[in-house]
Amino acid sequence: MLIIEDLKTRKRFWQSRRNSEPNRKVRPGLVVMKFGEQLRSSVIREYQWYYIDYDGLKAELKQRRGEEWTEEDERRFVSKLEAELDKVHTKQQVKAMEISRRIAVSEREVRDVVNRLNERGLGRDDGPSEEEFMLLEEDLSDIIADVHDLAKFVQLNYTGFYKIIKKHDKLTGWHLKPVFEARLKAKPFYKENYDASVVKLSRLYDLVRTRGNPAKGDSAAGGSQASFVRHTTKYWVHPDNVTELKLIILKHLPVLVFNPSKEFEEADSAISSIYYDNPETWELYEGRLKKTEGAEAIRLRWYGGMQTETIFVERKTHREDWTGEKSVKARFALKEKFVNAYMRGELLPAAIFEKARKEGKKSEKAIAEDERLAAEIQWSVLKHGYKPVCRSFYHRTAFQLPADARVRISLDTELTMIREDNLDGVTRSGDNWRRTDIGIDYPFSQLPPGDIHRFPYAVLEVKLQTQLGQEPPEWVRQLISSHLVEAVPKFSKFIHGVASLFPDRIKLLPYWMPQMDVDIRKPVTHDFGIQRTGHSATNSTSDDEDDDYDSDDEHPPAAAGPSAGESSAQGAAAESSRQHRTIADIEDQTADRAVGDDAYPLYDSEDEDDDERRDRLEEARKVGGWTYYRTLLAVCAHAATHHTWSFLKFIAPRPRATPVPRNERLEGLFGSGEIQTKRFKAPKGKKIYVPVRVEPKVYFAAERTFLGWLEYSIYIGTIAVTLLNFGAKGNTTSFIAAGVFTLLAIASLCYSVGIYLYRAKAIRTRKVARYYDKWGPSVLCFALFVAVALNFAFEGKDRHLW
């Protein structure tokens, strides 16, 4: 990945180097920013003397270039690297302790002000004033900025250590990476978890923002749903942006905590789910992927660690919009010790709820609904042979005002999919409903690679519930259109987990799978994020950047850290230095997001693209001889035909598309910039499924079109019968004209039946097909014109009119 700057426009963009050529050139007028320069331009003033001395370490390596790297050189380099690690680790520890103390002090001050407010009132006697609340808010905002800066400091240094070790191993031939990974684990400055600080800051900021009167009530309450419109969108968030995103959201919505009296623990945010399906047919997977009416997902979910006794049995049912119903998620609670018996059909639903009926804690109606749900799920599992196939695990941070469901935001991090099946002869869950060799010990390093898929991004879900005609809050609109998120509509953990863990069994892929290797980070689109006057801006860099053009390069685990935007604080000196950069040394250029046509893809499961033709030509060049010349001729002929056809289409007089302004929904998804496209090709033997919206009126429209063609064919057939039966006997002209109209009627009938069957199948299978008829009406109308003209010409000749 490269950060590239256009000298003409002064704009930066990111270009992917994954799967790119080793000697790929950058067009004139663009310069590539190296990691060392990116590190210098991203320096935060408070930390400027504590960053890794990346340039010094690199100079140490280059001093011995061309000479043999000795044991003394290695000892000197490792000693300097250890000193840099100790410097960074110490600064991180000191700053983290300082932030913790500041949070503790702010908590005491906020509690004191709120207590005085409750006792005396705002601005009365010795009660707190509005200025005190404003000062507290400023202090908390400053702490939030400190957390952001520390996270960015950690992320940049972690990237620096990874890159300099990689450079060392490449230039010297000595393998330092395995040894230094142990040193990093001994001083894990990059493993700081900010979730506890985020929860505390959220609670304090909410108290101050609401002037000691935070919203209270049931977090699931939302009043009457009849007058509201729900809109849910899912986004991917790069690990570099997670902390910043949390800090931005908590300034508008508090973190939703179900037990405020309990101290926050990491296990409190852990959520695990076991998904069921039939491993022979994968009917639940395909149903959820195709979004067919009534498609179900069955899962068992629990919150916290493996010792949790309460398991929730859930069923999600998809409903199409045209039905007038909403998709439903229903669930009931079950003790863990009863799960196996229930899923095998040994424990009936009536027995499960017998105790609840005796205790009388729930109404009879609620118990009856749960019992019916339990019976339906049990019947489906036993009838269709559903078995546990995969598990999803993640830590969830939810943001919402209690008793106000207008804006609900959840952020799922450390998302992991794990196999739960026994299909390949390996006993994982056995006869149990879940495997017991793992818990919530992310990253589950004890599992073999084939059993686990660690999702590279966090998943943000934004649920908006607004009145008809009402716009969502402005900060939400800015957030979802910012550089921090990437919209992925209809993303599903279950679908992604099955597609990733069972590549040999799944042939139909979700639309987002081919773009998993495309970096989702984007340059800053507008002034949005955590900013503080007096600090130089921070630019996003990648901990998985490719330092060289090695095709087999491995990527380190993502370090927790945010990404912030570039600002004018970088100074004229850095600006002038960019004028003289070259791309001669590509060793340590900073990775960033692909631009141009990498943004929003179109999918192609069948057509051969240019890359394949280039690969075919390259293979033929290796063979040489006539094979190469035949392949070259075929490629050139294909290119010439393509360009000729494109030119003819361009000059041909035809209706042109009229530009239509982008609606608010598209602008919310893609922003106001130009929408780029790229074609992705499905892997061999697989197909990409693109969501298709099918409503009953589509079926009716296809039938109406078919009936219209039948009517047309009947009219033509009537003309043919009239000419044949009422024409003069023995008249050759009438017979020829009748024959032409008869053939035209038969062709129209056959064509209409074929088109109808094609469209009906495409609608039934939700295939992305062309439902408009480009040539049929024109060809048949032209044939009708010819038939009428011939009949007129022959009839006129028989009457000696010409």
Contacts for 216 with CB less than 8 Å, ≥ 6 apart: 402, 403
Q: Is 455 helix (H, G, I), strand (E, B) or coil?
A: coil
Taking every pair of Cα atoms in the chain, the longest distance, rounded to a whole number of angstroms, is 118
Amino acid of residue 113 = V
Tell me if 316 sits within 8 A of 302, measured CB to CB.
no
Contacts for 311 with CB less than 8 Å, ≥ 6 apart: 300, 301, 302, 333, 334, 335, 336, 339
Which neighbouring-strand residues pair with 398? Answer: 410
Two tokens, residue 793: 């010409």
Angle CA 735–739–745, to nearest 5: 145
15 vs 33: CA distance, rounded Å: 11
Cβ of 78: how many Cβ atoms within 10 Å? 16
743 vs 443: CA distance, rounded Å: 70
**If you ran DSSP here, which 8-state letter would residue 495 be given?**
H
With tokens 């684990």, the residue in question is 185
531 vs 540: CA distance, rounded Å: 14
Residue 125 burial (C-beta neighbours within 10 Å; 0-12, 13-18, 19+): exposed
Tell me if 298 sits within 8 A of 374, measured CB to CB.
no
Residue 616 burial (C-beta neighbours within 10 Å; 0-12, 13-18, 19+): middle
Amino acid of residue 156 = L
Residue 752 burial (C-beta neighbours within 10 Å; 0-12, 13-18, 19+): buried
Residue 680 parent element (H or E): strand 677-681
Closest listed residue to residue 547, CA positions, set 178, 183, 165: 165
Amino acid of residue 614 = R
Angle subtended by helix axes 732-764 and 776-798, to nearest 10: 170
Contacts for 550 with CB less than 8 Å, ≥ 6 apart: none
Two tokens, residue 733: 């002209």
739 vs 376: CA distance, rounded Å: 62
Two tokens, residue 5: 């700057």
Which neighbouring-strand residues pair with 396? Answer: 412
Could you write out the DSSP letters of every residue in 36-91? HHHHHHT--GGGTTTS--HHHHHHHHHHTTTSPPPHHHHHHHHHHHHHHHHHHHHH
Cβ of 382: how many Cβ atoms within 10 Å? 12
284 vs 294: CA distance, rounded Å: 10
748 vs 712: CA distance, rounded Å: 8
With tokens 């499924």, the residue in question is 689
With tokens 């400190």, the residue in question is 146
Contacts for 428 with CB less than 8 Å, ≥ 6 apart: 419, 420, 421, 422, 435, 451
The catalytic site residues sit at 493
With tokens 């380099």, the residue in question is 77
Q: Distance from first CA to last CA of the chain, Å, rounded?
A: 77
